Homo-oligomer: A and B are copies of this chain.
Amino acid sequence: MKRARSPKVPSLSEQPVSELMQGIGRAARAAAQVLALATTEQKNRALGAAAAALRAQRLKILAANEDDMRQAAQRETSGALLDRLRLDAGRIEAMARGLEDIERLADPIGKRLAEWTRPNGMRIQRVCVPLGVIGIIYESRPNVTADAGALCLKSSNAVILRGGSESANSSAAIHACLAAGLEAAGLPQTCVQLVPITDRAAVGHMLADMADCIDVIVPRGGRNLIARVRQEARVPVIGHLEGVCHVYVDRGANLTMAKDIVLNAKMRRTGICGSAETLLVDSGCAAIYLAPLIKTLLDAGCEVRGDQVSTRVDARVKSATEQDWYAEYLDAIIAVRVVGDLDAAIAHIRRYGSQHTECIVTDDGAAAERFLARVDSAIVLHNASTQFADGGEFGMGAEIGISTDKFHARGPVGVEQLTSYKYVVRGSGQIRD
């Protein structure tokens, strides 16, 4: 008798990337159909169990993260990247709490968004449904695996996670906890899939070849990643571009409030997209307000790059160039400019801004309303710090980012923004004339 040869199972590296990705896509599409009908209790059970698994598997996750950190250090990775990559007990606990926060959020799916009856008796409902399959492409932060996976799960979307190669081990360990949560809730583990290869071609497939099994792509990362996604994507994208956020101090401002808001907007955390990058000061109050505002920033350790007027205020102020008005520093640097009046501030923001978040400081209600109406950004604030640009601070719960698009979702993208709707019509035999 001839011995049967065991069939050759292709290893990951041998299996063509396109085949692997198509398989992941088909599995996600099938999982999405199950998830669309899952109950709130089931989804919450999965989230709760995943949080418990994160805590129980803490040591395993830390060990995986150590592997990633060691490899990153060998590649002479920058300190900022190493910090984004690093996990510790506190960060794992924060991830687990994040899942529990999402567990507590209201379930948007099935919500009746509108309801009316037609003269012919047909009852029409607009009902919230999931988008379907979401592809998340991210870089070094391994916690995105937990956050993004959980937000998609709560909104009944199947998700394909494609993390950065630097965080591959950490993400896999975190993903295992999400899979355990799904299993505990009786949901298919394919609801949350992690692409098991770090081949860059995998991203190309997600962007261009999987339109039939990915409904929307969410990129989370730096400028280069977003640019690549915008360039290559053949499916819709929810992506936030830069946050070149402005604070405009109007002649009607209270100086103390202006100093507090400017300092907080710039310096509370400089690396987030809602941090202020440019300070505009009304010429009608610059003579009195400009110097103390600049001094407050300089004294807090912020580099100030100013226009001609500003450089005369303090020797420490450097000269700004045209490029500074466009800059998203994400650092302790601010551009400062004196503008003729409110309308000149609006014109500056229109020209140089990124339609993310802008603030006016003033006690003049009419000036505030003019600013709020005319500045076309996702978030416009009156007398409050731009650092409030955050789904949690808005009371919307966790978010996947801040969208600067006007299409589909704008501003914080939380569970409600990861949905679509359908029209459900109940009749009694109506036909059309």
A322 to B135, CA, bound (A): 32
- How many of A's residues come within 8 Å of B, CB to CB? 60
A378 touches which of B33, B118, B254, B422 (Cβ 8 Å): B422
Question: Copies per complex?
Answer: 2
* Central interface residue in A129, A378, A393, A423, by most chain B CB within 10 Å: A423
- Nearest chain B CB to A202's CB is how many angstroms away? 23
* Central interface residue in A265, A382, A394, A430, by most chain B CB within 10 Å: A430
Q: Which residue of B is nearest A238, CB measured?
A: B407
- Nearest chain B CB to A355's CB is how many angstroms away? 9
Q: Do the beta carbons of A422 and B382 come within 8 Å of each other? A: no
Q: Do the beta carbons of A36 and B376 come within 8 Å of each other? A: yes
Q: Do the beta carbons of B381 and A425 come within 8 Å of each other? A: yes
Known pairs A376-B36, A407-B236, A420-B407; A430 contacts B122 (CB<8 A): no
Question: Does A384 lie at the interface of the complex (its beta carbon under 8 Å from any beta carbon of B)?
Answer: yes
Q: Do the beta carbons of A431 and B132 come within 8 Å of each other? A: no
Question: Does A260 lie at the interface of the complex (its beta carbon under 8 Å from any beta carbon of B)?
Answer: yes
* Central interface residue in A372, A382, A407, A426, by most chain B CB within 10 Å: A407
Question: Does A377 lie at the interface of the complex (its beta carbon under 8 Å from any beta carbon of B)?
Answer: yes
A138 to B374, CA, bound (A): 32
A388 touches which of B122, B376, B406 (Cβ 8 Å): B122
Q: Which residues of B sit under 8 angstroms from A431, Cβ to Cβ? A: 260-261, 263-265, 268, 384-385, 387
Question: Does A37 lie at the interface of the complex (its beta carbon under 8 Å from any beta carbon of B)?
Answer: yes
Q: Which residues of B sit under 8 angstroms from A427, Cβ to Cβ? A: 381-384
8 additional contacts (CB under 8 A) given A118-B395, A132-B376, A379-B422: A37-B374, A236-B405, A378-B422, A383-B429, A384-B425, A384-B427, A388-B425, A407-B407
List 26 A-B pairs, Cβ < 8 Å: A33-B376, A118-B393, A122-B388, A124-B395, A129-B376, A132-B406, A216-B407, A260-B431, A265-B431, A268-B432, A376-B422, A377-B422, A378-B423, A379-B425, A382-B426, A382-B427, A383-B429, A383-B430, A384-B425, A384-B426, A384-B429, A388-B425, A394-B423, A407-B420, A410-B423, A411-B421
